[in-house]
Structure 1
Amino acid sequence: IAATNQASEPNSNGLFTVSLSNAVSTDTEVTFTVTGTATEGTDYATIGTTVTIPANTTTATISVTVIDDNLVETAGETVVVTLTGTNTAVTLDTTVATVTISDEDGVTININDVVISEGDVGITKLEFTVSLTNESNVITTIDYQTYDGTAQLADNDYVAIPVETLTFLPGEISKTVEVDITTDNKEELDEVFTITLSNLNSNGNNLVIGKAIGIGTIINDDYSPIIVDVVVSGIEDNDVDFTLGDFITSFDDEDGDSLESIIIVSLPDNGVLYLNEIEVLIGDVIIASEINSLTFTPNLNWNGTVTFDYNSSDGVNIADSNEQVIITITEVNDLPIANDDIISTEQDVAIVGASVANNDNPSDDGGNIWSLVGDNGGALNGTVIMNAEGVYTYEPDEYFYGTDSFVYVITDADGDSSNAVVTITVNLKSEPSLELIKTASIGGEEVGDIITYTFTVFNTGNVNLSNVVISDPLISDSPIAVVGLLEPYDNATVDAYYTITQEDIDNGSVSNTATVICDDVLGNKVSDVSDNGDAVDGDDNPTITELEQKPSIAIIKTAIFNDDNSDGYAQAGETITYSFTIRNIGNVALSNITVVDPLPGVTVYGNSITLEAGEVDDSTFTATYSITQDDINNGSVTNQASVSGSSIKGIVVSDSSDDKDEYGDNPTVLTISGCVIEVFNAVSPNDDGENDVFYIRGIECYSDNRVEIYNRWGGLVFERDHYNNTDRAFKGISEGRLTIHKSRELPDGAYYYILKYKGVGGKMFKKAGYLYINRR
């Protein structure tokens, strides 16, 4: 089998040819099956399942009759014929052939343009139509998205659509895209935005984008109101009250919207606009419900025509142009009005150049003249002069104070008049003053003693003083109420008490100042700072109480012998520890306190300290001393330390130590025992550091001595004057004057010693006995 003709829409048919290699004598029936991507009965006419090759011929054909349609199909749909058998012994060779049906149909996808009126309330739906020019036999998708034009997301004109996808199922040719339009009442130009198609997916079909951009036009259906001038009138010196109707009748709106508010664009001359008695300013917005509270108050005695600009709003839009409010004030014939005045001055001080006209309402008729009524205007305690313009001078009588008055009249050109009274208060010339004297008496100068302060307040002025109170920072009960009323040249006295502190003594005095404050007859505050003496000299010296400073210090020195080898006796080189107890026995603090001990060989430890009055220190200072042989010979160590310190004022005080009494000056004496003769008669001269020499305790105290040592036969083996347990000591070596072998080690065994020494006063002493040498 072979495909001998290909097919295409609308009317070009395809053809299969089935061939035998040789003719046979009978009809040959060939069976076949039909497959492929084209649909039998839709894309092409039914072709059956058999074909017959007549006898004695070699070919037969199978026709593929194309069915034309407008459906967009996959390019190159196929019809596949597969031979399956014959009714003879003919065998099959080529069994499969394909005819392709070409589709001439193409599809364009488009989006339309849409126009819609905006609306006033809520959301309006604007519907775009996305359409295919023909059906497709496969699923088709395309993306769409909105973009700003003159319609702006920022102005809330519409609700944006981000990238979204439309899906056309096979056979669908139209889809709707809705965009929410945000309605308002704002007058504006017609606005547009767009929807753009992109990213077409036709799944292999012949689809293209035709019109890719849809234009959405939002038609403005809002209009600004139209306003005209508002005309009102009033009477001179009377308020003009506006009504809502004044502005409604001057308002028109094509949308049928109502007047919501008015805007004050400018202000009128010759008067003031008020809303609820509050002055209106340029730019104020007055809602419709408050217009009935809008008032124009013309200037006093003014008449004529005045205007101000306004605009109106329907709640969203205002008129395209401002208009005027025209107010006409009708003139009236005014009478002059004189108004009472109140004025004051000080005693013996004239009022010059004052004017009653400033407080009056002269007549519009003109010719207003001011003058006094009666002689001197009726003033009884001063002289009044007034000119025709109402400017006057009032001079009170000398020394007068109190209330006076005079009467004047305004008369206009046609004889109308009005009287008024000027009331004058002449105030007493107040000269309040006072003086506070503060003195002190002292009952003692120690901490806790009392200073008694006496405060005397003198009224040195010419008016009464009341609520007299003294404040003193030293007094715990301050402030101190002195007296309720203090008349001129009178005085009052009060005492207060202060307890002396250590800080006061450290300072050497108590110095301070008090303050008195009170009210004069006019309620003014009058005050003074205390002085320590004369009430009339005017100075303000502080009150100073001197306190005697008595710096003093005491030191006690004690000693402890340190028996380093615990043998109960003192040896040269052993030490003494000194302790110091220091007390500040004065009444002021002391600083830079140090201890000095003049004994040679003493080392004092401890840095300088500070002690408050009465304070004791027994731990800061210590000292050590190494005992000498002279000290042992003397039998005691005697010495005395001293302490010194400085007061706050730099006074240096000192004290010599006592051994037990803060107020005594006795040196510290430590008795030591080291001159008692004791003979240690065992000698082991083997350099082990123990008993290497013949040791005689206390011999250092008696340098005038002699030691002799004899062997058991009475032979002198050692003799030495000024024996001293060190370089002149016996070490088991023969050193006798008569010894044959000097400087020779003596054998172990018993020996006999004789010690002779001169004691105190030259008395001779002698000791003798056995000693033993053992080198093992």
Structure 2
Amino acid sequence: MDIYCLDGNNGAITITSSENSGANSYAWTKNNIAYSTSEDLTELSAGTYTVTATSANGCSSEPFIVTISQPTTSLSATAVITNNINCIGCSKGAINLTVSGGNDGIYTYLWSNNETTKDISNLYKGDYSVAIKDSKGCTVNYNYTITESGISITKEGTYIDSNNDGITNIGDVVAYTFVVKNTGNVTLINLTIIDDNAIVSNKAIDKLAAGETNSTTFTASHIITQKDIDAGIVYNLATVKSYDPKGNLITATSTDPTPCTTCPLSNECADCTTTDLNQNPSLKVIKNTLTTSFSKIGDILLYTIVVENTGNVTLHQIRVQDPLTGLDVTIEELQPGQKSKEYSQSYTVTQQDLINKSVTNIATAEGLSPSNTLINGSDTVTVNQSKMIIDAVDDSKDSVDATSGIKNVLNVLTNDRLNQIPVILQNVTLNLVTADATGMLSLNPDGSVDVKQGTPAGTYTLTYQICEILNSTNCDTAKVTIKVIQNEVLNITGDACNADTSVTDLSNLLPSGTSTNGTWTDTDQSNALNGSLLSAFELEIRTYVFEYKIIEETGIKIFLISIQINDDCKVLPCGTVLVHNAFSPNGDGTNDYFAIDNIDETNCYAENNVEIYNRWGVLVFETKNYSNSSNYFDGTSRGRTTIKKGDGLPTGTYFYILNFTSVDGSGTTISNRKDGYLYLSK
């Protein structure tokens, strides 16, 4: 038996002698060196064995040579190890074996983690061993180690107010400190930090042992720009680079150890160190006037307007408005400290300004901060009025009907002026100077004049005075004249249809010879009267009153025309011709005849013809102009002579034919036909 494993000693030779050999001693050599005198050999190593057998009578056999062989190469393996590079707590490790030697090239594996494959993967850091066995049981053992490498870096920023003014300015600084830690289980070398948004101290760490932390070597600083202030925050991300003992790059990006809880996270850099910057948006409007006062309508007031960005952030879309002058412009952008151009504006004094005695002008500016927050500013300038001019103007009213008395026949203040604008009671006092001698007129505190009921025809007068409240010596007096006449009222009635699209001339309802110079009034506000022409189409059904007034020298004549709106002219739509296919002519008053709905509407269906046949095709009834009221089929024969006319027809099924005409929407006559079965039951 040959050797299973290289350099093993499990070889064996067994001698089998013939029965007549008589051999009773043996002499073995190994590689020509005396080895043993045993008959059989065990625990042999590889080599050439020679045996000579000798019998009891001293006869010796020819030498017999036996070769014990062994595998040419020993069982062995090499491994390619993949560590968890730049990955803490990962299971990316792997051991890939290359096995050679032994017997037959057939191997089995048993790993310390109970895996039985040649290669193993998804390995965490740690020690792994494997036993490799070939087909003859030869075994070899190997031990391997999976490492992990990694690094972490934290970056903390601190804002430094360089001039201690409490406001973030261009040139202020954000100072950064770094804490670097070797989070793996191998030593890292040549550590450097890269920061694209800060200046890092020009240093490096030569070596950092596993688990070691460094917080003193690296610092950095960032110079604040206007862009940073407009953003209200500085985002910064640093990268640390190093190498493991095998030269693999180990890197990490920074995190913020004390993140700002109120700052918005960057969509592009969630791990950035955030440093909040103080924003102070502010907008100032500077408005001046070159006019010190005004005295009358049409005076021109001159203004200048400038807008200044008095904050520390850039403002955009700044809308500048002055409603009084009509200014409405938009400034695209103002940098901190920047002023707009000067806007020259003017305003023309109106009556209302004279009432108010001053012009208050407010210019406003509304802009957006970088975060689109609305920022406001305004400035107000007031120009006062010079001394008022008061003017009371005479009033008159002709053709007044005082039969029932009149409240507020006119108001004396309507045409009075204070500095060329209509007087209002808030600005003047009103006093009666000379009352009407007859007592028929009265002046009310609000300036209205009343005429008493039953005042006879004639002319009545009174005088009054108005004085400026702010200057009681500034007064004027005027006279009021009222001419009273007598009135006559006549009532007229009529009607109109709301389905008629034509118009009705209401003047045709007036008595013959009535003057045409009067005035028509739509008293009930029907909105259907144009002069004397009434369009009643689609008016609500009810009575409407319209007034026609004629002013004559002897008095006022009033015609009250009451028009009752109806729908008498409305044309109803045609009903559908509907044939009822069963009837029972038994004299009970119910369903006693063959009914055809709406066939009687001759304005819709001018002509018709009805034929009724029994089941043998015999005509039993025939008529023109069929009518449900006078010319209908009641079960009595009115057909051929084979059926006796006047006889009642038996119960059964009959067939009807109905021909009739109708008119379409364009007025064309159309021929129609309906037919079907008819059941007669008694």
TM range (shorter): 0.3 to 0.5
* Structure whose alpha-carbon radius of gyration is higher: 1
Q: TM-score, with normalisation over the residues of structure 2?
A: 0.35
